[in-house]
Structure 1
Amino acid sequence: MEFGYIISGFAVGMLVGVTGVGGGSLMTPLLVFLFGFKPAIAVGTDLLYAAITKTGGVFVHHNSHKSVDWRVVTWMSMGSLPAAIATIFLIKHLIKIEKDITGIITSTLGVALILTAIAVLIRSYLTRKKIREIEDSIISSGRFKKIQVPATIFTGIILGVLVTISSVGAGALGTLAILFLYPKMSTLKVVGTDLAHAIPLTAIAGFGHWSLGHVDFTLLGTLLIGSLPGIWIGSHISVKIPEKVLRPLLATLLLIIGLKFVFA
């Protein structure tokens, strides 16, 4: 079975490298449906898995490309990190009063996957149809300037709750939010900024689930053995695979899985 985890980690890692879609939307359903893990264990393990696998990407974006806007990361974190901590305490309270959290996790996971499927298609359209300009000042002028920072913090709150419950959303939904909130930010900086925000969010949420006993470290280790080389290979072959074919297929798959969780 451990060999199966390694193969699954490799496959998901390669898809992440090719498509840029976060591993949570692919790995968590795989752990639940294919390997029969409880949703809480799948979510908790996947959150720490995501935090580790995304760390290398941030070093590349920050050191090599200088493509992380730390102001946006800070504003999103002001909303997401407290929301993640509050959500962990809420889950802990529900467990304490012996309320079954499986239904909450699966329903939230289904909704998150459906939103991610939509985000995959919209993000592809935005980045393909519009040439995004790099600007030194990411704050817009006029009326939008007054709501940009509060909107970023509020977006962080939504992501904090969603990611902590389902492990899904830090990648595709976070990227889409930044694309809308900062229309003049370059695509490369959008990706780097979202990646930098996802690391502390998934780490805090993951450690919170660990404190609740929702992390399988043996599973985590075997997934990483497969996923790290998978991401490296996927990122190198991504230029050879037509995005206009792969992204709609991936979005359709996520939509089907999401509907299965919602109506299970």
Structure 2
Amino acid sequence: MEWIVLICIGLLAGTVGSLVGLGGGVIVVPALIYFGTYTGWLDNITPQTAVGTSLMVMIFTGLSSTLAYLKHKTVDYKSGLIFFGGSGPGAIIGAWVNKYLDLEDFNLYFGIFMIVMALILMVRNKLKPIEKFKSASFQREFTDPGGQIFHYGYPPLMGALIALVVGFTSGLFGIGGGSLMVPAMILIFMFPPHVAVATSMFMVFLSALVSSGTHVALGNVKWLYALALIPGAWFGAKLGSYLNTRLESKALVSVLRIILILIGIRLIYQSITG
């Protein structure tokens, strides 16, 4: 039973995470905590093992979707490496801070973070991009499959600092960080949406490598659970990247933000009631 549950969690996380650039941790972490702590279907799940195991899965989700997006030539790998310069150290710091959180504290902070992510998803398409970085020092150009050319740019230091915050939340909560990075790339730096999602998944892959390594050193990875989650996440990520190039993801994002709010409220309630 537990293997079926884990494979389904991985498939859902990979598909949703790759489609909207979240990485899938927003599905894996609360699912592991719920099935491990409140149903007893999974054994010995703590906030630390949920986060460590999630980040191990994010390596394969990020790699699978990045390889798929590379075929469509939508990954801005130079920008991804610049962002990783900030997200890498942030992921290590977040992973170390995570070990000091008990279940109640983790539920509270993660619940608040989930609601914040839902609000970001709610407003990100209603805000107008900031034009000022069009003439920033680092300039990029992207031509989509239809031949349309996009120009965008940003100060590398600012990009790395934003990514530092994203990396910290990734290491702390076991999520990909795309929920913060994708809106930042689109609204602040004027990335084309498909490029932002694809580049976010590339950064998710690199950050997960670093933060999961820290969690492995701390003994926070449940290897058998990770092995069950990875196949579903791998194929789910390929499905999500396929759908991203062919479908409008507005309906899924709308459903996702409702789910995030409900999960966030539940986690906060559980932290208060113990």
Query: TM-score interval w.r.t. the shorter chain?
Result: 0.7 to 0.9
Residue type of the alignment partner of 1:135: F
Q: Deviations over 1:151-189 (max 9, x none)?
A: 212211111211111012512211111112212x22222
1:194 aligns with 2:200: yes
Deviation at 1:54, TM superposition (A): 1.2
> 5 Å matches for 1:1-264?
1-16=2-17, 19-36=20-37, 37-62=45-70, 64-91=71-98, 94=100, 101-125=102-126, 134-136=149-151, 138-139=152-153, 148-168=155-175, 170-183=177-190, 185-234=191-240, 243-263=249-269, 264=271
Aligned partners of 2:97, 2:242: CA distance in 1, in Å? 41
- Structure 1 pair 30/190, CA: closer, same or farther in 2 (3 Å)? same
Q: Which amino acid aligns with 2:184?
A: A
What secondary structure, in the 3-state scheme, does the structure 1 residue paired with 2:202 have?
Answer: helix
Q: Could you tell me whether the CA contact under 8 Å between 1:108 and 1:162 is conserved in 2? A: no
Query: What root-mean-square deviation, in Å, do the aligned CA atoms of Structure 1 and Structure 2 show?
Result: 2.8
For residues 90-116 of structure 1, give each alpha carbon's deviation from its aligned partner in whole angstroms, at most 9, with x where no partner exists.
Answer: 456x4xxxxx54444333322321122
Between the aligned partners of 1:182 and 1:220, the Cα distance in structure 2 is: 35
In structure 2, relative to structure 1, the CA distance for the partners of 1:86 and 1:12 (3 Å cut) is closer
Taking the aligned partners of 1:149 and 1:180, their CA distance within structure 2 comes to 16
Query: What's the counterpart of residue 136 of structure 2?
Result: none
Change in 2 beyond 3 A, CA 1:108/1:56: same
**Could you tell me how far 1:196 is from its partner in structure 2?**
1.4
Output the TM-score relative to the length of structure 1: 0.79
Distance of 1:41 and 1:191 partners within structure 2: 27
Give the partner amino acid of 2:196: V
* Cα distance between partner residues in 1 of 2:167 and 2:211: 8
Normalising by structure 2, report the TM-score: 0.77
Q: CA deviation at 1:211?
A: 0.9
Unmatched 5+ stretches in structure 1: 95-99, 141-147
Percent identity between matched residues is 22
Give deviations 1:38-95, integer Å, cap 9, x for gaps. 1111111001101111102212323x23322233223322222122223334456x4x
CA contact (8 A) 1:87 1:161 kept: yes
Distance 2:242 2:81 in 1: 31
CA distance in 2 between counterparts of 1:50 and 1:17 reads: 10
Task: In structure 2, give the amino acid aligned to 1:179.
Answer: I
Gap change, CA 1:6 and 1:155, over 3 Å in 2: same
Paired residue type of 2:32: L
Distance 1:53 1:6, change over 3 A: same
In the alignment, structure 2 segments of 5+ residues that lack a partner are 38-44, 129-143
SS in 1 for 2:150: coil
Q: Tell me the CA shift for residue 243 of structure 1.
A: 4.1
In 2 relative to 1, CA 40–191 (structure 1 residues): closer, same or farther, beyond 3 Å? same
Distance 1:15 1:161 in 2: 22
Contact 1:67/1:192 (8 A) holds in 2: yes
User: In 1, distance between residues paired with 2:95 and 2:19?
Assistant: 32
- 8 Å contact 1:2–1:222 — kept in the other structure? yes
Paired residue type of 1:214: N
In 2, distance between residues paired with 1:84 and 1:241?
31
The one-letter code of the counterpart of 1:250 is L
Maintained 8 Å contact 1:152/1:181: no
What residue identity is the alignment partner of 1:177?
A
* Structure with greater strand percent: 2
The structure with the greater share of residues assigned to helix is: 1
